[in-house]
Amino acid sequence: MNITLPQLPNLPSPPNVSFDLNFDLKINGFSLPDLPVLPNPPALPELPSFIPKVDFKLPTLPPAPSIPPLVSELKGILDGADKIGKIYCMLKQGIGLVAEK
């Protein structure tokens, strides 16, 4: 896949600027000390790998069992309880706080 990038116009390069920063910092007998140069860090060996390589195989699981449909009598009882609960919430709404309307 090739993506075409926008072309920038041919802009001139910035001018070269250089400064001469050699000046004496001695003021009334005070001078700044020379800064020490730190040595290069020592060569360290390569770090060991902290992630172990574990080769294991998981067993193949059988398919999940299907849930049988609810018995029609039980479904009727649950629907009736749901309607009674909704009526209870409607009556209680005028009395106190209810989580659902």
The token pair at 86 is 């909704």
Encode pLDDT of 13-24 as tens digits: 777 777 766 666
Q: What is the pLDDT of residue 81?
A: 92
**9 is written with which tokens?**
């116009």
- Our CA angle for 36, 38, 42, nearest 5°, is 160
Domain parsing of the chain, residue ranges: 70-94
Residues 6+ apart with CB under 8 A from 75: none
Name the strand (E) or helix (H) holding 86. Answer: helix 72-93
DSSP state of 28: T
pLDDT digits (tens, 9 = 90+) for 52-77: 777 778 888 899 888 887 777 888 88
Q: If pLDDT is split at 50, 70 and 90, which confidence band does 28 have?
A: low
How many C-beta atoms lie closer than 10 Å to residue 89's C-beta? 13
User: What gap in Å lies between CA 87 and CA 100, rounded to an integer?
Assistant: 12
Q: Given this model, what pLDDT does residue 58 score?
A: 83
Residue 33: predicted pLDDT: 74
